[in-house]
Structure formats: structure tokens, C-alpha cells
Amino acid sequence: MTLTELNRMWARPLALIGLGLAVCVSGTVVLADEDSSLRYTATVRAIQAAEPAVVNIEGNKPSNPSAIDSQQVNGMGAGVIIDPRGYILTNQHVVQDVGRIEVTLHDGSKYIGRLIARDPETDLALVQITAAKTQFPVIRFGTSSDLVRGERVIAIGNPFGYHHTVTEGIVSALHRDIPVNGSQNYPDLIQTDASINPGNSGGPLLNADGDMIGINAAVRIGAQGIGFAIPVDKATEIAADMIAQHRRGSFESPISVTTTYSSGRPRVEVLRASGSQLQRGDVIRAVGKRTIKTRLDYELALLDQSAGADVTLELERSGTVVTSSLALESRSSTKAQLASTTSIQEQVYRGLGLKLELADAAKVTQQNTSYKGGMRVTSVRSNSPAYTAQIQSGDILVGLLEWQTPNWEDLAWIMNKNEIKSGSPKFHIMRGSDVFWGTMDINSTSVR
């Protein structure tokens, strides 16, 4: 071998060092250690940690849902897996009016998703995919409570159908209130200059550590570098509401909880603990073997439980860690008694201002598979809580507080909750094929 050939042999591998390769003494080219390579920046590691839990969502939807013969168009967006059982959080507008929700994971595997619940008011929805003996990867949650302008953020999504596109930018502003289409308003959004385009909706906005701090939701039409995301703390609360709505029906938890934040650290505190060993102010650290950081964790932990079960909880009380149990109460024993001793029709009319009749459960479920049935509104009393909340005759009451209202027995049980007798109970009504959420302002003396 000539000297020139030797020089060429050594020159080639040496020129590749800048591409992340290294050369050992013998001249053999080997891959550089990821831990030492300059290519594996914090951004790269953040993306690699998060993207297995990011999904692409596609499906056909009518271009004009109200038209009799509407042309079908391709809809697309993204979502994040929030539980190993396949629960996915996304934007409501991504899956609205989609007949077949096609979900593609990062590894290319494909599933058909089922719409579990949705909240048009916040434009969030819950979808589930299932597979035998499969535990899906889960997004790592951060918090939006301590965001600062200028910190680095990363968006992952499905813009224009380009799966798992990643972009980087900064937090441009916080607490933006954005009107979208004249009827939809997004309050308290994160503004970012990370490129967000149609199809990014429902995907995560990550911080520099790869923790999700927002759900990408909207762009400013005609502008560049102006995108918006729903803060993750708000998104997890709405997701917790939807999980609670999905799981409740056969049992009742005797406590209510809330997520609080201190220095960017979430914890779950007990608000109400009637009929249990727990106390107001207890901090729930674990349910069974599941670590609890937010109310969403708590609701997911109860998802597969059943009436009569005793759940073990690890608590922090006045700085001391204690173990307690939580009995999940059966509702069946009280339903018949409540229905027979109380004229529920009169109670609903007196307290809410509604006259109701039982709706066809099959038709309700056909319109929206999340609901088991409902109560049709036949009249609304003027100046009543329902009237002020703009509920109309023909609407179907499908939920009140955090529970569904498929029949008189369930409605009787709900109407005897303390939360109905005072405060501003949340309601769900179906109007045509749409479901609307709102609150009713109730005088403490209205319901007896």
C-alpha cells in the first residue's frame, strides 16, 4: 500500500468525527457514546423521552355537519397518552364529527379509538384505544403553574399529516384570552413561537426537560410564530372530570379532592371527607400502588374499582405519613328509597326550574356513546337557574355535577347531594348532536 493510499484510509474516518463518530487507534470507526456526543442536546433528549406517548389522530369528517349530504374531508391532529390503559387526551375539535378515529403510535402501530368524553367549553376530549396485554407509554406531566416567558418549549404534532413533527421555540406570553370563531373562546392560554400548524392540535407542548406543560390548541390565522396551548394544569383538571364522568355510576367515593401547587409541585388535598376515616386537608400520596400527584391520578386510580371495595391510601397528615382505607359506597341501596320518598319531578322543578321526561336511551347513546341516556326538557320556568343558564325545551339533560342522568333514580340520588343544594352545579345537556356544559346558579334555599 502506498503512502497516498494510507493517508486516504486515515483521512476518511477522521473526517466523520463531526458527524458523531469516533476513531480508535486501529482506525476502526465506531459510534460515539450518546452521553458524550454534542448532538444529543437537552432538546433531543426531551423529544426522545416524550414522543413514544404522542399519537397521531386522523379520520374523515363532514365539511358541513349540518348539511344533509356533506362532502367528507380529512381531519387530523395529535394526542397524548395519559394512562397505560390507552386513554388519550386531545382537542375536541380534532375528533368532533369523526366517524372512525384512526390513531397511530410512534412505533407505527395503528388502532381505532373510541370517544369517551368531551368538553366543548375547553375544547378537550378523551379517546381510548385498547390492545390485549399491552401497556401503552404515558406522557410525563409537568406543571404550568411556574412557567416564565422566554423559557424553551417544544411542540410535537401532526401538521398537514407529517407525523411526529417537532418544533422548538419559547414561551412568548402567558394568560392570553383568544376568540377563535365568534362562538368559541379560549381563556388563559400559553402563547409560543414554536411553529404550530393545522394538525398540531391535541399534541403536547413540552418544557426543556420533556415534561408536558400544555396541549397545543390554536394558531393565529395569517400570522407566523404565534401559536397557543391550553395550560396543562387546566387540561388535567378537565381530564379528571371526564374520567370521573366515565367511571362513575355503580359506586360513589365519600371524599372530594383538589390539586394544589406550591413552587411548581402538585399535591392532592382532601376537600370533603364525610363518612370516611380521612380528614379535610389530608394529602393523598398513593392509592394502592399508584403514586398520586394530581386529581387526574386519583380519578385514574379509581377507574377499575367497583362498589363495596376498600381502597388503601397513603396519606400525609400534619407532616406524618399514615395509611388509611376508603370504602367505595354502593348507590343501589339508596336509589329506590330516594325515588319512592321524594317526588323527584317536583324537586327538580322547584330547585332547577325544569320539567323533564325520560328520553329514549338508545337514541341518546346513538348520538353520543359517552352517555347511557338522559332526561328530555319539556319546559323551563322563567327566571329559574335553568332559565338563566339558557337551557331550552327539547334539550336532553345527560349529566349533573359529575354524574350522568340516564333515569329518575340516578337523578333523585344526585338531587340529594349537598353540592346541588347550594353553589353552582355543573350540567351537561345534549342539543341535537352537540353536548354543552355549563353551570347553574342556585340559591341555597331553592332545593330542600
More confident site: 71 or 140:
140
The DSSP result for 184-199, as a single string, is -EEEEEEEE-S---TT
What pLDDT does residue 192 have? 95
pLDDT, the chain, mean: 82
Do 446 and 350 form a contact (C-beta atoms < 8 A)? yes
* Catalytic sites, residue numbers: 93, 123, 201
Judged against a pLDDT cut of 90, whether residue 439 lies above it is answered with no
C-alpha cell at 78: 395529535
Residue 315, C-beta contacts closer than 8 angstroms, at least 6 positions apart: 278, 282, 283, 284, 285, 321, 322, 323, 324
Percentage of the chain with pLDDT > 90? Answer: 44
Amino acid making up residue 406 = P
Tens-digit pLDDT profile for residues 23-50: 344 444 444 455 667 899 999 999 999 9
State the pLDDT at residue 264: 82
Strand partners, 329: 252
Check: CB of residue 190 under 8 Å from CB of residue 170.
no
Cell of residue 242, nine digits: 371526564
What are residue 142's phi and psi, to 5 degrees? -105, -155
Amino acid of residue 89: L
What pLDDT shows up at residue 331?
57
C-alpha dihedral (225, 229, 231, 236), degrees to nearest 10: -150
Mean pLDDT, rounded, for 380-398 = 91
Model confidence over 278-301: pLDDT tens digits?
Answer: 888 999 999 999 999 999 999 999
**Cell numbers standing for residue 247:** 367511571
Whether 446 has a pLDDT exceeding 70, the answer reads no
Q: Which pairs with CB-CB distance under 8 Å and at least 24 residues apart come from 441-447?
A: 441/385, 441/388, 441/389, 442/351, 442/352, 442/385, 446/350, 446/351, 446/385, 446/421, 447/347, 447/350, 447/351, 447/352, 447/415, 447/420, 447/421
SS3 string of 139-180? Answer: CCECCCCCCCCCCEEEEEECHHHCCCEEEEEEEEEEEEEEEC
- Give Cα 12 to chain centroid, integer Å: 52
What is residue 254's predicted lDDT score, i.e. its pLDDT?
78
- Smallest CA-to-CA distance from 350 within 384, 382, 378 is with 384
Q: How far does CA 238 lie from the centroid of its chain?
A: 6
Q: Which three cell numbers stand for residue 84?
A: 397505560
| More confidently predicted of 245 and 297 | 297
By percentage, how much of the chain surpasses pLDDT 70? Answer: 81
Sign of CA dihedral 369, 375, 381, 385: negative
Most confident of 15-19, 246-250, 252-256: 252-256
Query: pLDDT, tens digit, for every residue of 73-94?
Result: 567 899 999 999 999 999 998 9
125 within 8 A of 245, measured Cβ to Cβ? no
Specify the amino acid at residue 260.
Answer: T
Rounded Cα gap, residues 397 and 386, in angstroms: 11
**DSSP code of residue 28:** -
Burial classification of residue 193, based on how many CB atoms lie within 10 Å of its CB (0-12 exposed, 13-18 middle, 19 or more buried): middle
Calpha distance 9→384 (Å, rounded): 88
Distance of CA 164 to the CA centre of its chain: 20
- Residue 417: the pLDDT is 76
